[in-house]
C-alpha cells in the first residue's frame, strides 16, 4: 500500500471505530449518564445526521483549501470531538461531541477519496479508494469489538481516549506521508453547488441511500435475529459479527478491483447479488452454519459496492468532485438511518424478525433499478455525443 493511502486508511480506521463502537457501549453509556437505552441510541442517529448535514458544509468550507491542509484540519476536528466525548460530563455534551466528530466524517472521506484517486494511475483509481476504505472495514473487524471490550472492562470513556490517540497517530501519518502539494482541481463554490443540477449525480446519491438502507434495515437488528431466530448465544454473536467484518474487508478490495475493470457492470452485478444473498438469508437464518456462511458473503457484497459508487460519483461530478464525493458519504449515512427506521417500523407493526431480509431485498432491488436507469441514460448520452461529433 503506498504510504499516502496507508495514512488515509489509518484515519479511516479511527473514524469508522468512533462511528460504530457506540452501538456496543450503549448500555454502559446509558447507565453512567442516567439515561434510557432509546435515548442513548439517539447518539447513533445524531452522529449519522451530523455526517449528512456537516458533509456539504465542510466540503464547501474547505473547497479552496489545499488538500493536505484540509485533511489535517478535518482530522484535528476528529481528535477534538473524541476528546470531548471522553470528557463529556453529561448526555447532552456527549451528543454535541458526537455531532462535532460527525462533521469531519463525510468531508474527510469525500476529500480523501478524491486525493486517493488522484495519487494513482487512472486505471487504479477505484482500487486506491478501496485501499483507503480498508481502514473503515478493519474498524468493523478489529476496532469495534476491541473498543467494546475495552469500554466494558475499563469504562466507555477509555474507548474514546484510545480513539483520540488513534486520531493523533493518523494526524502524524498524514503530516509525514501525504505529499505537500496535491494538485487541486479548478473549482468554485457556485460550481460545487451546480453539480446538484446534474440528474446523474442525484441518481448516484439515490443509489447510495437505497443500497445503504438495504444493508441497515437488516444489519441494525442482526443481534436479535442471530439470538432469537438462529439460536446463537450472545457470546457467539460476537464471532459471527467478526465473520461479517471479514467479509466487508474482502468486499472492499474486490469491489475496487472490479470497478476499475467494468464500473457500472460491476455495480449492477453486486446489487443483483445482494438481492440473491438476502433471499437466501431469509431461509438460512434458521440454521447456525448456513446462516454464518450467508452472512460472510453478505458482508462481501455489502462493501463491494462502496468503491464503485464512490468512483462513480467522482466521475459524474468532475466539476465538483469534492462536494459530490462528500455528499455521497452523507447519502450512505442517510441510508443508514433510513434503513434502521424502516426495519424498526416493520417490527413495530408486529411483523417477525424473519421479515426483515425482505425489506433489504426491496431496497436493493430499488437501487438496482435506479442504477439500470442511470446506466441507460449514460449510454444514450454518450451515443448522442458521438453522433454530434461525427
* 9-184 and 185-390 in the same fold: yes
**Reported confidence tier of residue 190, pLDDT bands at 50, 70, 90:** low
- Give residue-wise pLDDT tens across range 310-356: 888 877 876 676 677 778 878 888 888 788 888 888 888 888 989 99
Whether domain 185-390 has CATH 1.20.1250.20: the reply is yes
Domain extents in the chain: 9-184, 185-390
pLDDT at 157: 94
- Give residue-wise pLDDT tens across range 279-309: 999 999 999 999 999 999 999 999 899 888 8
Whole-number Å distance between alpha carbons of 245 and 140 = 5
Q: What is the pTM of this model?
A: 0.77
pLDDT at 186: 56
Distance of CA 170 to the CA centre of its chain: 19
Average pLDDT, the chain: 84
Distance of CA 95 to the CA centre of its chain: 20
Architecture category of domain 9-184 in CATH:
Up-down Bundle (1.20)
pLDDT higher than threshold 70 for residue 377? yes
pLDDT at 297: 96
Pick the closest to residue 59 from 366, 356, 327 (CA basis). Answer: 327
pLDDT at 385: 63
pLDDT at 257: 80
Q: Which one has a higher pLDDT value, 180 or 176? A: 176
pLDDT at 387: 62
pLDDT at 38: 65
DSSP class of 187: -
Q: For residue 176, what are the contacts with CB-CB under 8 A and spacing of at least 6?
A: 7
pLDDT at 271: 95
pLDDT higher than threshold 70 for residue 386? no
pLDDT at 104: 86
Q: Which one has a higher pLDDT value, 242 or 211? A: 211
DSSP class of 123: G
Cell of 157: 470513556
- Give residue-wise pLDDT tens across range 153-177: 888 999 999 999 999 999 999 999 8
**Reported confidence tier of residue 78, pLDDT bands at 50, 70, 90:** very high
Inter-residue contact 29 to 94 (CB < 8 Å) = yes
Amino acid at each position: 500500500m503506498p504510504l499516502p493511502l496507508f495514512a488515509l486508511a489509518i484515519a479511516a480506521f479511527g473514524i469508522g471505530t468512533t462511528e460504530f463502537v457506540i452501538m456496543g457501549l450503549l448500555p454502559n453509556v446509558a447507565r453512567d449518564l442516567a439515561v434510557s437505552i432509546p435515548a442513548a441510541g439517539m447518539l447513533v442517529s445524531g452522529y449519522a445526521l451530523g455526517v449528512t448535514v456537516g458533509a456539504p458544509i465542510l466540503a464547501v468550507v474547505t473547497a479552496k483549501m489545499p488538500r493536505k491542509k484540509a485533511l489535517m484540519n478535518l482530522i484535528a476536528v476528529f481528535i477534538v470531538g473524541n476528546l470531548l466525548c471522553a470528557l463529556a460530563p453529561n448526555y447532552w455534551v456527549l451528543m454535541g461531541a458526537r455531532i462535532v466528530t460527525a462533521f469531519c466524517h463525510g468531508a474527510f472521506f469525500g476529500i480523501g477519496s478524491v486525493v486517493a484517486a488522484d495519487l494513482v494511475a487512472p486505471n487504479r483509481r477505484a482500487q486506491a479508494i478501496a485501499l483507503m476504505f480498508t481502514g473503515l472495514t478493519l474498524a468493523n473487524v478489529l476496532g469495534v469489538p476491541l473498543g467494546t471490550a475495552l469500554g466494558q472492562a475499563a469504562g466507555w470513556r477509555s474507548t474514546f481516549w484510545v480513539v483520540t490517540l488513534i486520531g493523533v497517530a493518523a494526524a502524524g501519518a498524514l503530516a509525514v506521508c501525504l505529499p505537500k502539494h496535491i494538485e487541486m482541481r479548478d473549482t468554485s463554490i457556485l460550481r460545487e453547488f451546480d453539480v446538484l443540477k446534474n440528474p446523474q449525480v442525484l441518481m448516484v446519491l439515490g443509489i447510495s441511500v437505497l443500497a445503504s438502507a438495504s444493508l441497515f434495515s437488516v444489519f441494525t437488528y442482526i443481534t436479535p435475529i442471530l439470538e432469537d431466530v438462529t439460536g446463537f448465544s450472545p457470546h457467539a454473536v460476537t464471532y459471527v459479527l467478526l465473520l461479517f467484518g471479514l467479509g466487508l474487508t474482502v468486499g472492499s478490495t474486490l469491489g475496487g478491483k472490479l470497478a476499475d475493470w467494468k464500473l457500472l457492470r460491476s455495480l449492477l452485478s453486486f446489487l443483483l447479488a445482494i438481492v440473491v444473498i438476502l433471499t437466501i438469508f431469509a431461509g438460512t437464518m434458521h440454521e447456525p452454519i448456513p446462516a454464518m456462511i450467508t452472512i460472510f458473503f453478505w458482508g462481501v457484497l455489502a462493501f463491494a459496492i462502496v468503491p464503485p459508487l464512490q468512483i462513480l460519483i467522482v466521475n459524474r461530478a468532475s466539476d465538483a468532485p469534492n462536494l459530490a464525493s462528500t455528499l455521497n458519504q452523507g447519502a450512505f449515512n442517510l441510508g443508514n438511518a433510513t434503513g434502521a427506521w424502516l426495519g424498526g417500523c416493520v417490527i413495530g407493526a408486529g411483523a417477525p424478525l424473519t421479515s426483515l431480509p425482505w425489506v433489504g431485498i426491496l431496497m436493493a432491488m430499488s437501487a438496482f433499478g435506479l442504477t439500470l436507469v442511470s446506466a441507460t441514460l449514460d449510454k444514450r448520452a454518450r451515443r448522442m455525443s458521438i453522433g454530434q461529433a461525427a
